[in-house]
Amino acid sequence: MEKNLIINNRKISFCDEKNLLEVIRKENIELPTFCYHSELSAYGACRLCMVEVEGRGILPACSTPPEAGMKIKTNNEQIREMRKIIVELLLANHDKQCTTCRKSETCRLQTLARRLGIDSIRFKHVGKKEPKDLSTHALVRDPNKCVLCGDCVRFCEEIQSVGAIDFANRGPKSAVCPSFGKNLQDSECVYCGQCARVCPTGALTPKSEVSYVWKALSDPKKKVAVAIAPAVRAAIGEAFGLPGENGSEAAGKIVTALRSMGFDRVFDISFTADMTIVEEANEFVERLGSGKNMPQFTSCCPAWVKFVEQYYPDMIQNLSSCRSPQGMFGSIVKEMLPKQLEIAKEDLVIVSVMPCTAKKFEARRPELSKGGVQDVDYVLTTQEFARMIEESGLRFAELEPSAFDMPFGFKTGGGVIFGNSGGVTEAVLRNVAGSGNAGADEIERFDFVRGEDGIREAEVNVGGKELKIAVVYGLKNARKIVRGIKADKNKYDFIEVMACPGGCIGGAGQPVYNDMQTRKTRTKVLYENDKTLELHKPQDNPYVQKIYENFLGKPGGSLAHEYLHSKHSHKKRLKEKPFTVYKPRKENKLNINVCFGVNCMEKGAQKLLKQILDFVGTQDYKDNVGVDASFCFEKCSKGPVVRIGNKTVEKCDIEKAEEAINEEIKNIKC
């Protein structure tokens, strides 16, 4: 039911908008804000979206619900002065090296300073310069540019349920940082990079590898091959004022740009996306037949894989063993291309252009290398690629399209839609349903897995068998699904998981976006690209078929496993020594260590720790007992786990703990 209010003397209708900010923006009034994102909870930290509500005074628009009859002013002298003071205070302690900042073009602080007409800062700089965190291959954290808006903190917790970064300290010492003041590499970060996407300044940015790629291109001894991911063609146009450009045309311009830069071969990751589907579908059929390790999770998203490895190691066997398309590309091309070019393998440099920051981490996983040499040498984000185009002086919009090099440039529509949430599932279903060219009706047969919701479920009959499928994006949604499976509440056969909202098209390496329409446009581009291609089922890719015939043998065979699959293993959440919970008053003769890994925490480790502390505190030997907490004993299926002296107690409760403590104390006294 529509209601009305007054904004700047204009009668405005509203319906289901959850706050004044959304109503005001609907009327094409851009209220400034740092801390508001429609994907996240209202936080109200920056106070920039203040408006005057008649009879109520100055209120934050982001946390004030609209009511019929309200009379609102969005811009008067008092509000303008408040906003200027807020921005000046932020600028006072800000690292103002804007010309060299990676976020310069999309920095909201810089934009607001210009909008508000700030030409001087009346406040002194009192902050202490902090070192940059360069510990990961995926992200750079610069605390000197943080404005404490909390966007990164809320995204990491509310959408990803990881909580790798949070607020610490108080007052002027307030900061956003990883747990225990560690760097990102030693935190729970899964490198999805969504914190960098929502960061309004340059406090969090993707880590650039542009200089390394230029160096490789300049080395006459090297041949450099590059491949672009499906989602890149859906977003690169945005960086050059071409939103919504046809995916095929954008891909052709990308090929021309890459060749102009000096790349020796230009390929399409969609080729190995086709190959991934062939392997993953084969693996799925085998699991269905045996009933083992079901449901099958996809493994093409490296942030999701790391999430499983560190939070749910007992579910690792449910992950597909297939490498991601990037992983398969590096492995196959580094094996086959040197022979075609008649060069040594060490003289071939492989570069991938990805929408994702986690792909930088994935490329350096030891499982994706041979003899200590990475299969993929460098990973560029879409943002970095756009920067290289600009550095080259190329007018991207005016470039004539070119064709990819063969054979690794040929793809089907099933490989292209990989970039969308639901695309992997749809491609697998097309494969399992059988070969043969597909018309428009056949393409749309499995489009029920498409959509905007973070969790989508479907049942489909394939070959007379009913399959239950889930498509998930956002790791918090993935956690819900996993918990439901572990509690026997949900039964699935196949589950696709992508960490980023909307899938790879919403990756943190893509051009920065703030509205959902941009994401929808990217999604549409890939589906439209699928329709324009001659083939739509990955198994019908003739060049993929030839590689199996001439090199790999059959899907799922020994050579296919060597080059196209990898193993996943338990990764500790935090690289951290045990922290002391209870110190003995005298000599520490008995040490008790409680596992605080995720599985043990879910099974009651925190409550058990308190019970142990209460027990120790009531005993006459408490002066000689110390209690610590560790982050993982790697016995996740047997939690809670407690180490008492030299004895490890699995599936521990307070009765078992008391018995073991008393026994160990006796042994010490003896």
Phi, psi of 101 (to 5 degrees): -80, 135
Among candidate residues 283, 309, 426, 664, the one labeled active-site is 283
For the chain, the average pLDDT equals 89
Higher per-residue confidence, 141 vs 371: 141
Per-residue pLDDT, averaged over 523-543, amounts to 91
3-state secondary structure of 644: strand
Higher per-residue confidence, 270 vs 180: 270
Residue 43: per-residue pLDDT: 78
Least confident piece of the model among 16-20, 51-55, 384-388, 441-445: 441-445
Per-residue pLDDT, averaged over 441-461, amounts to 82
Is 362 considered catalytic here? yes
pLDDT value at 436 more than 70 = no
Among candidate residues 359, 411, 537, 603, the one labeled active-site is 359
Is 35 considered catalytic here? no
Residue 348: per-residue pLDDT: 95
**Tokens read off for 546:** 């030839």
Among candidate residues 309, 362, 384, 426, the one labeled active-site is 362
The DSSP symbol for 159 reads I
Q: Where are the beta strands (DSSP E) in 599-639?
A: 625-630
DSSP run (H or E) holding 196? helix 194-198
Other Cβ atoms within 10 Å of 67 Cβ, number: 11
Residue 442: pLDDT band with limits 50, 70, 90: low
Is 504 considered catalytic here? yes
Residue 44: per-residue pLDDT: 76
Least confident piece of the model among 203-217, 260-274, 428-442, 533-547: 428-442
Residue 576: pLDDT band with limits 50, 70, 90: low
Residue 254: per-residue pLDDT: 95
Least confident piece of the model among 233-247, 358-372, 556-570: 233-247
Residue 562: pLDDT band with limits 50, 70, 90: very high
Is 466 considered catalytic here? no
Residue 160: per-residue pLDDT: 95
Among candidate residues 504, 600, 636, 652, the one labeled active-site is 504
**Tokens read off for 337:** 């291309």
Higher per-residue confidence, 570 vs 339: 339
pLDDT value at 579 more than 80 = no
| Matching residue, tokens 């008391």 | 658
pLDDT value at 188 more than 70 = yes
Is 280 considered catalytic here? yes
Task: For residue 441, give every residue at least 6 positions away whose Cβ sits within 8 Å of its Cβ, in sequence order, or none.
Answer: none
Is 359 considered catalytic here? yes
Residue 573: pLDDT band with limits 50, 70, 90: low
Residue 203: pLDDT band with limits 50, 70, 90: very high
From the list 592, 599, 558, the residue with the least C-alpha distance to 578 is 592
Residue 120: per-residue pLDDT: 87
pLDDT digits 0-9 by tens, 469-525: 999 999 999 999 999 999 888 899 999 999 999 999 999 999 998 888 889 999 999
From the list 208, 580, 260, the residue with the least C-alpha distance to 393 is 260
Least confident piece of the model among 160-164, 189-193, 581-585: 581-585
Residues 284-319 as b/e (b if ≥16 CB within 10 A, e otherwise) read bbebbeeeebbbbbbbbbbbbbbbbbbbbbebbebb
Beta-sheet strand order (sheet of 642-644): 579-582, 625-630, 590-595, 642-644, 647-649
Residue 620: per-residue pLDDT: 72
Is 179 considered catalytic here? no
**480 in Cβ contact with 2 (< 8 Å):** no
From the list 73, 77, 68, the residue with the least C-alpha distance to 24 is 73
Q: Read off the pTM.
A: 0.85
Residue 444: per-residue pLDDT: 65
Q: Where are the beta strands (DSSP E) in 280-406?
A: 296-297, 348-354, 369-370, 373-374, 378-381
Most confident of 116-120, 234-238, 298-302, 525-529: 298-302
pLDDT digits 0-9 by tens, 9-64: 999 898 888 889 999 988 889 888 888 887 887 777 888 889 999 999 999 998 89
Residues across the chain: 670
Among candidate residues 135, 320, 324, 352, the one labeled active-site is 320
**78 in Cβ contact with 58 (< 8 Å):** yes
Per-residue pLDDT, averaged over 328-357, amounts to 94
Residue 440: per-residue pLDDT: 47
Per-residue pLDDT, averaged over 201-206, amounts to 94
**Tokens read off for 548:** 């199996």
Is 62 considered catalytic here? no
Residue 443: per-residue pLDDT: 62
Among candidate residues 156, 195, 300, 652, the one labeled active-site is 300
Per-residue pLDDT, averaged over 629-658, amounts to 85
Per-residue pLDDT, averaged over 351-378, amounts to 93
Residue 438: per-residue pLDDT: 47
| Nearest-10 crossing angle of helices 475-486, 302-311 | 40
